[in-house]
Amino acid sequence: MPSDLIPSWIRPVSRTGEVSVIHISLAPDPDREQYAVSWLDAEELRRWQRYKVDRARREFALCRATLRYLLCQQLGCKNADLAIVAASDHGKPYAVLCGRTVSAKFNVSHSDPHGLITIAEGVRVGIDVEAGLRKRDFDGIAEMVFGPNERAEIRSACGVKKASLFFRYWTLKEALLKAAGTGLSADLTRMELPWSVRHGASTGVFQSPDDPMIRWQLQDLSTRQYTAAIATEIVHPASSHTSPPAC
């Protein structure tokens, strides 16, 4: 099995300062999946085996192997020394090297056939991708997860415009949730996206409604193939970074 298969299914999307975004092709390919599985540790292997749906197994294996590959490059470490862990079943995963949490942060999103990974040095990041504009009860879901202005804007749009607006808002908000790592515990109706971003700007700053000191840089990463967004923590320049631990 070739040792350099991973570069054949990834391509860089963007790099802004110390934050990079990488696209992963998740199209079915047994050779790629078999190679990806060889990167997983025992716990990840058990999780991969538990997936009943082929698509979910493939998404997990390819994204997790790519994440390990990228972290090894960034940290200059061996895959065997790296663990990807989470505080709970629904907790945000983070990397541990030789038993110590590393300062590099990451986030992963997959929506067949697209995966996105963001890796950043020292700042929290969240990413979300949605492939296609799958039909849903857009107005009904908007009532639960969008603020009053967002709901009104989605209600007044029709057809494909309604679907694309919904998924644009959805991915931007999900990127924020994933950056903070709070999952579903946040009240999303209080988290309205900035006016400029809702009206077409590809970047903007979101300020937490609970703590004005917490601010996130939002960026729309959508292409013709998928809708996607990234949220990056804005930190005070004086904040210091720590180096990865030596094993």
Q: Which residues of the shown chain bind ligand COA in the complex (CB under 6 A)?
A: 60, 63-64, 90-93, 107-110, 128, 145, 170, 173-174, 177-178, 181, 183-184, 188
The residues near 239 (Cβ < 8 Å, ≥ 6 apart) are 122
Q: What's the min distance (Å) between Cβ of 187 and ligand COA?
A: 11
Q: What's the min distance (Å) between Cβ of 211 and ligand COA?
A: 18
Backbone CA torsion sign across 97, 6, 48, 118: positive
Identify which of residues 97 and 172 has a Cβ nearer to ligand COA in the complex. 172
Q: What's the min distance (Å) between Cβ of 172 and ligand COA?
A: 8
Identify which of residues 116 and 247 has a Cβ nearer to ligand COA in the complex. 116
Residues of 225-245 as b/e, b for ≥16 C-beta within 10 angstroms?
ebbbbbbbbeeeeeeeeeebb
Q: What's the min distance (Å) between Cβ of 128 and ligand COA?
A: 5
> What is the residue whose two structure tokens read 């988290």?
191
Q: What's the min distance (Å) between Cβ of 11 and ligand COA?
A: 18
* Distance in angstroms (rounded) separating the CA atoms of residues 146 and 171: 12
C-beta of residue 26 within 8 angstroms of C-beta of residue 62 = yes
Tell me the CB-side half-sphere exposure of residue 234, using CA atoms within 13 A: 13
Identify which of residues 91 and 247 has a Cβ nearer to ligand COA in the complex. 91
Identify which of residues 128 and 220 has a Cβ nearer to ligand COA in the complex. 128
* Distance in angstroms (rounded) separating the CA atoms of residues 126 and 106: 7
Strands 203-207 and 94-97: unpaired
Q: What's the min distance (Å) between Cβ of 56 and ligand COA?
A: 9
Q: How far is CA 149 from CA 73, 163, 177, 195, 219, in A?
A: 43, 16, 19, 9, 20
Identify which of residues 191 and 240 has a Cβ nearer to ligand COA in the complex. 191
Select from 175, 166, 162, 170 the least CA-distant residue to 219: 175
Identify which of residues 33 and 128 has a Cβ nearer to ligand COA in the complex. 128
Identify which of residues 152 and 247 has a Cβ nearer to ligand COA in the complex. 152
Q: What's the min distance (Å) between Cβ of 238 and ligand COA?
A: 26
* Distance in angstroms (rounded) separating the CA atoms of residues 33 and 26: 9
